[in-house]
Amino acid sequence: MNRPTDLFFVFAIFCPKRPPARLHLWLGRVFAGGLLFATSCVTPYNPETAAVSPRLVVEGLITDQPGPYRVRLTTSAAFANGSAGTPLGVGGATVYATDGQGRRIDFFESGAGNYFTRPDVRGQVGRTYQLHIRTTDGTEYVSEPEPLKPVPSIDDIYWEYNPSAKNINVYLDLTDPPTPGDGYLWRWQHYEQLEFCKLSEEIPNSNGDRTSCKNCCTDCWDIIQCFTCVNIAGDQFVNGNQIRRQLITTVPFSSFSPYYLLIEQRSLGNNAYRFWSSVRAQSSATGGPFDVPPAPTLGNIRNVNNPNERVLGFFGASGVIYQPYWVDRGSIADLPAVPPPPDCPPVVGPPPPCFPCLEDFGRRTGTRPPGWNR
């Protein structure tokens, strides 16, 4: 807290010619105001928050690539008295999609809240897909019909090194078709081949402790991706022309080894583009005065019998292409950033038994990535 006398010295220095009598009167007034300001208190404000009940959250997608496809059903975290709970998977539901031509595509439960189609299922461009859900209490939900639009090919993928940041920007170009209203979404996955699949605390190592690693029994890759990134673009200003220098991701320059990316380009219908635009606007808000006001991002799911129920999430249909790409970090005429030390020191004694590659959807796989030639 500032002292009132600090104010007096400041004003006295800048007003040296004020007559003494008036100066005393003026300082007295300033002292009173400064004392009032200095002794004012800030009263904590604890706003009352209304309890928010959990809501159904739906995530799902059908593409023109081979299945299986996944639909995920969860409940949003309940919020009351400033604290949020944990979202839970919704099990026991009947989940299927229709394609507008009488075909039914069933989703089968596999784990809490996760429903998968059979691997031989494949969406078709030009058809319209609609999701149907019936929960264990008989409540029925349905999505708006979503058209599966074709996706154009990628013209080129290239990268540029940023020496000041010690990283690499990866871009692509594509040619938008002449039809208006096309939208695109891009995602990427980085596959890192593993040498070790399990951390063990039972085997001595060269550091003198008992923390070491078990080799993978088979080929295994960790999958690194950004689950919260929303990278989209529309053709409002470039319809029928080329979209150039679309930034896909930034790659760290931590070594000279090649860096593998699997780049996904997805077509978006009008509803899907509006949904992802809303998600991007909400997720990119920084708390500034010109941010988009926070609001629920509603999707295309509704309760059949209760239109007032707010359902979150989106079920979409998209044409998709995947393009593997290697970033040749060895061609950079610079020294890489210092990589982290290895996690596993050498083992003392006989090597431990290997550990299997445990599949984890979107995080770890034993399936060789497309275009992996190392």
Query: What is the spatial distance between Cα 312 and Cα 300, in angstroms, rounded to a whole number?
Result: 8
Q: Residue 197: its pLDDT value, please?
A: 87
Using an 8 Å Cβ cutoff, are 148 and 101 in contact? no
Other CB atoms within a 10 A radius of the CB of residue 104 amount to 9
CB proximity list for 142: less than 8 A, separation 6 or greater: 130, 131, 132, 133, 301, 302, 304
- pLDDT one-digit tens code per residue, 78-137: 655 455 556 689 999 999 999 999 999 999 999 889 999 999 999 999 999 999 999 999
Q: What are phi and psi of 301, to 5 degrees?
A: -110, 140
- Does the pLDDT of residue 342 top 90, yes or no? no
Instruction: Name which of 70, 77, 130, 126 is nearest 300 in CA terms.
Output: 130
Query: What is the spatial distance between Cα 319 and Cα 148, in angstroms, rounded to a whole number?
Result: 6
Name the pLDDT band for 284 (thresholds 50, 70, 90): confident
Q: What are phi and psi of 281, to 5 degrees?
A: -65, -40
Query: What is the spatial distance between Cα 50 and Cα 310, in angstroms, rounded to a whole number?
Result: 16
Widest CA span in the chain: 96
Q: Residue 351: its pLDDT value, please?
A: 74
Name the pLDDT band for 206 (thresholds 50, 70, 90): low
- Does the pLDDT of residue 285 top 80, yes or no? no
Query: What is the spatial distance between Cα 131 and Cα 145, in angstroms, rounded to a whole number?
Result: 8
- pLDDT one-digit tens code per residue, 345-372: 666 677 778 889 998 878 999 999 999 9
Q: Residue 103: its pLDDT value, please?
A: 96
Q: Residue 9: its pLDDT value, please?
A: 37
Fold that domain 56-147 belongs to in CATH: Immunoglobulin-like (2.60.40)
Average pLDDT of 315-330? 97
What do you get for the CA distance between the two ends of the chain, in Å?
64
- pLDDT one-digit tens code per residue, 216-229: 999 999 999 998 89
- Does the pLDDT of residue 50 top 90, yes or no? no
- pLDDT one-digit tens code per residue, 153-188: 999 999 999 999 999 999 999 999 999 999 999 999
- Mean pLDDT (the chain) is 83
- Does the pLDDT of residue 11 top 70, yes or no? no
- Domain spans of the chain? 56-147, 154-267+321-365
- pLDDT one-digit tens code per residue, 24-37: 444 444 444 444 44
Instruction: Name which of 26, 130, 9, 2 is nearest 71 in CA terms.
Output: 130
Which ranges in the chain belong to alpha helices (H)?
4-14, 20-38, 270-283
Instruction: Name which of 61, 63, 183 is nearest 131 in CA terms.
Output: 61
